Structure 1
Amino acid sequence: PTHRLAVDLGALPSAATRLDLFLALPGGPGAPARFGALAAPRVHLLGPGGEKAAGFAVTGLAEETAVVAVELYRRNGAWKIRAVGQGYDHGFAGLAADFGLTPAPPRAPRPGPAPRPAPPARPQTRGEELLPADMGERLSLRKQQVATSLRKGGLTGVTARVILVLDASGSMSGLYAKGTVARVAERMAAVAALLDDDGTMQAWTFATRPARLPDLHLGELPEWLRLHVRVGQLGVIGRKKRPKSRADGQVDMRTVGIQNEEQKVIADVRAYVRDHPVPLPTLVLFFSDGGVYRSKEIERELRAAADEPVFWQFVGLGRSHYGVLEYFDTLPGRTVDNVGFFAVDDVDQVADPELYDRLLSEFPLWLGAAREAGVLR
């Protein structure tokens, strides 16, 4: 049978950034119990005038009873299409649960494939048992949410090095004072806890100059946040000095400065990755409140990084000007699209599932493209 679904993208609210098209078997007497018993479903997307915009078959299905077929997502104000083809063998209810939906209860029980058993709980990351109870509980829930966001992109069991970069320029002082940056760093620790094999995350801070922070070991998270998620004083800046560190690893934030020089910390992180190669992809989580003005220098660094096994996910923490970061992933002439960007007005008001979905939506796409291009082995 053929089914049609009309979507008026122009009528959607500006906050809507993604639409997923699900296919699910209806069940009932005589209905097929799994997609493997049918010909591969085909999806055709038509433009406003009925012209064909895209089409593909969802292949490789066997025991699945529900499928995420296609995704429409908004980037830089324009809607784009991505074929997904992610199957679920525990029906629409399991698919809906992964997407945070609550499906309507079935009118009557029906025979069908046995529910897929829940995956075994991921063992605690080293050091997790040392965390205060409330922080450990938050971390455990967030790891599950990170795993769900990755599954939506077709990734399970992936391992990656995670690097955190925090803007410490003068305009960020309010976000540090309110504790917003510390809360962001705690939420990012869950990404490292799930993706990194030992839960360790490298970190940088930057303003006029970059400075590498001590590595974040999960069991030291409360103390690490207290000691190292800081913004500098606004006076007495040693303009010609490199950032200094104290015996406890704290950076003298006065020597970091107050301006925005993103290209310098990007270069620092690139050098670290080159000097410390690992057989894994690297995911950089880069937080800034904008005020970007070194667009040419930033573009030069990120273009040169396109052949490196690193994906750069930039997150804007406000309504400021983000320069080249806002449109970099539309620029041609790179081996792969190695940059993602989105901005939020108030990150504290963004729930964990939404934040991780947005944070990790482009990383799976880059992984596939990077492997195909030979950037990743």
Structure 2
Amino acid sequence: MTTLIAGANVPVPAGPLTLVIRRSANAPTADASALLLGSDGKVRFDEDFVFYNQPAAADGAVRHIGPTAGGEAVTVDPDALPGDVERVVVAASVHEGTFAAVPGLSLALLDGAGVTAATFAVPAGGSETVMVLGELYRRQGGWKLRAIGQGYDTGLAGLAGDYGVDVADDAADTPPAGTLPVVPVGATPGWEPPPYSDEPTMRLPAPADDPQLAGLPPEVGARVSLRKEAVRITLEKKGLTGVRARVALVLDRSGSMRQLYAGGAVGRLVERMAPIAAKLDDDGELDAWIFADEYAALDTVRIPELPQWIANNVYIDGRNKRPQAPPLPDGSQRVPDLLSGVYGGNNEPAVIEDILRRYRGEPGAPVLVLFYSDGGVNRSKQIQRLLTEAAGLPIFWQFVGLGRSDYGILERIDTMPGRLVDNAGFFQVDDIDRISDVELYERILSEFPQWLTAARTAGVVR
């Protein structure tokens, strides 16, 4: 039997499966539900929402069993699922009160013989009325179970609506606009969440109140304002209020990243990372690097200059004068590519060494490195050596994989031996644009607090 933590995954046994929602004795009932999702992260039609009032999917591959001796349950037959179903999300909901009153919440995966193959102890809840406990998802011709443990305070209707189910309007339950969804403390990366929605937990500050936003286009200022507040809430939940840290951004510029640059995904990613530095760094600035076969340190990212920084730095022009969007703000193409030396394959060790040189020479607050790559990692031994040697420095490396590829040592980074402290984390997402800001910040900041505690204990951070 495998014991999972939030964000971890495990291959599932062959054949029909049962997912059982358990709780402590005398705790309120937690009703089971499941959603069958397509490649867009939404239900294909309303019948893909399986719960007590709709106990089976149209094809019968997913069924709501309800109360059993072990707890509420749903059954899933992966072999019977239609080919356009990519994921099956399993959730629990309470009719009255919140999950703060449901101790001992867990999800168990049983094989066709009723033998428990995996369990996940869900982090204690707070104001949530619905918890997404886990998901079954397709992976390399098979299926895996990923532990999640994320929550909403908007009930079953809020969950259903986020995944595309047509929910009848209820004015009494309509939340005010300009707010963010609840995510419980202890949530960990490693899943595909629903898109951003407007469920309430916090009011957004007026953009005009923030001097950093002066001069930004109104729509950019509004997004940055919202994201700074999302970061603040995440830091508060992680116990990081008042913590100072420098933040560095590292962007993969290898040839395989062309589409992400051309479609604007990398530019949007930079816009989402700048608020992290705004809340952690004393000067609110984001150090930046790009890498491919070679690397380059870029100008510092400052929020007042964000659109121009993205226009100047976030592109791949390629060689042979083949422009790869976006063009310059005036519509002209970027020929020649002023960063043409940073092109080709992946040489992570070179940029890691440059980052180490920079911060060894600039002692100060601890450093959070946000390192984005689309895979093709083939220098695992060098990366392992550098990160092992760097474990004695006040630097935490958060690697993020963009897409399904080979990430080499990064996929095993949490179990990499020989380090003074665990100074690195890794998670992978299929489509960074589909990850809500709240969930992205939760993932990025998931392991940083634990590292900070361990680094202080070891004398790495003072």
The two structures share one fold, judged by TM-score above 0.5 = yes
1:268 aligns with one of 354, 367, 379 = 354
Where 2:397 maps in the other structure, the secondary structure is strand
Counterpart mapping for 1:123-138 below 5 A: 127-138=212-223
- 1:98 equivalent in structure 2: 182
Where 1:202 maps in the other structure, the secondary structure is strand
- The alpha-carbon distance between structure 1 residues 259 and 198, as it changes in their structure 2 partners (threshold 3 A), is same
Equivalent AA in structure 2 for residue 206 of structure 1:
F
Distance in 2, matches of 1:139 and 1:158, equals 21
2:245 aligned with 1:160? yes
- 1:292 equivalent in structure 2: 377
Equivalent AA in structure 2 for residue 153 of structure 1:
K
- Per-residue CA distance 1:167-201 (angstroms, 9 max, x = gap): 00111111111111101111111111121122111
Distance in 1, matches of 2:91 and 2:383, equals 28
Where 1:98 maps in the other structure, the secondary structure is coil
Distance in 1, matches of 2:108 and 2:422, equals 26
Where 2:340 maps in the other structure, the secondary structure is helix
2:267 aligned with 1:182? yes
Contact 2:206 2:225 in 1 (8 A): no
- 2:171 equivalent in structure 1: none
TM superposition score normalised by structure 2: 0.57
Distance in 1, matches of 2:244 and 2:90, equals 27
Distance in 2, matches of 1:296 and 1:304, equals 12
Where 1:291 maps in the other structure, the secondary structure is coil
Equivalent AA in structure 1 for residue 213 of structure 2:
E
> 1:25 deviation in Å?
5.9
> 1:121 deviation in Å?
9.0
> 1:232 deviation in Å?
4.4
- The alpha-carbon distance between structure 1 residues 363 and 125, as it changes in their structure 2 partners (threshold 3 A), is farther
Distance in 1, matches of 2:283 and 2:306, equals 14
Where 1:327 maps in the other structure, the secondary structure is helix
Unaligned runs of 5+ in 1: 27-41, 59-64, 83-95, 104-116, 237-249
- 1:230 equivalent in structure 2: 315
> 1:156 deviation in Å?
1.9
> 1:9 deviation in Å?
12
- 1:91 equivalent in structure 2: none
Distance in 1, matches of 2:242 and 2:416, equals 31
- 1:254 equivalent in structure 2: 340
- 2:290 equivalent in structure 1: 205
Counterpart mapping for 1:308-347 below 5 A: 308-347=393-432
- 2:192 equivalent in structure 1: none
Equivalent AA in structure 2 for residue 208 of structure 1:
D
Unaligned runs of 5+ in 2: 1-23, 31-70, 79-85, 93-97, 110-114, 136-143, 150-179, 184-196, 322-335
Contact 2:289 2:298 in 1 (8 A): yes
> 1:307 deviation in Å?
1.3
Where 1:314 maps in the other structure, the secondary structure is strand
- Per-residue CA distance 1:202-255 (angstroms, 9 max, x = gap): 10001011100011121111110000112242359xxxxxxxxxxxxx983221
Q: More deviation in 252-261 or 160-169? A: 252-261
- 2:436 equivalent in structure 1: 351
- The alpha-carbon distance between structure 1 residues 44 and 352, as it changes in their structure 2 partners (threshold 3 A), is closer
Where 1:137 maps in the other structure, the secondary structure is helix
Counterpart mapping for 1:24-43 below 5 A: 24=100
- 1:109 equivalent in structure 2: none
Equivalent AA in structure 2 for residue 347 of structure 1:
I
- Per-residue CA distance 1:105-141 (angstroms, 9 max, x = gap): xxxxxxxxxxxx9899999665322211111110010
> 1:259 deviation in Å?
1.2
- The alpha-carbon distance between structure 1 residues 274 and 46, as it changes in their structure 2 partners (threshold 3 A), is same
- Per-residue CA distance 1:253-302 (angstroms, 9 max, x = gap): 22123110011111111111111111x22111111111111111111111
- The alpha-carbon distance between structure 1 residues 122 and 299, as it changes in their structure 2 partners (threshold 3 A), is farther
Where 1:254 maps in the other structure, the secondary structure is coil
- The alpha-carbon distance between structure 1 residues 118 and 124, as it changes in their structure 2 partners (threshold 3 A), is closer
Distance in 2, matches of 1:137 and 1:120, equals 9
Contact 1:169 1:257 in 2 (8 A): yes
- The alpha-carbon distance between structure 1 residues 120 and 318, as it changes in their structure 2 partners (threshold 3 A), is closer
Distance in 2, matches of 1:346 and 1:24, equals 32
> 1:142 deviation in Å?
0.6
Distance in 1, matches of 2:287 and 2:430, equals 26
Distance in 2, matches of 1:120 and 1:179, equals 27
Distance in 1, matches of 2:214 and 2:347, equals 38
Distance in 2, matches of 1:165 and 1:15, equals 33
Equivalent AA in structure 2 for residue 167 of structure 1:
D
- The alignment-based identity, stated in percent, is 45
Equivalent AA in structure 2 for residue 337 of structure 1:
D
Distance in 2, matches of 1:318 and 1:336, equals 28
Contact 1:126 1:198 in 2 (8 A): no
TM superposition score normalised by structure 1: 0.69
- The alpha-carbon distance between structure 1 residues 43 and 321, as it changes in their structure 2 partners (threshold 3 A), is same
Contact 2:207 2:213 in 1 (8 A): no
Contact 1:149 1:361 in 2 (8 A): no
Where 1:300 maps in the other structure, the secondary structure is helix
Distance in 1, matches of 2:429 and 2:301, equals 25
Where 1:253 maps in the other structure, the secondary structure is coil
> 1:164 deviation in Å?
0.5
- The alpha-carbon distance between structure 1 residues 371 and 80, as it changes in their structure 2 partners (threshold 3 A), is farther
- 1:301 equivalent in structure 2: 386
Distance in 2, matches of 1:54 and 1:138, equals 35
Distance in 1, matches of 2:74 and 2:391, equals 32
Contact 1:168 1:232 in 2 (8 A): no
Distance in 2, matches of 1:180 and 1:264, equals 24
Distance in 2, matches of 1:167 and 1:154, equals 31
Contact 2:317 2:337 in 1 (8 A): no
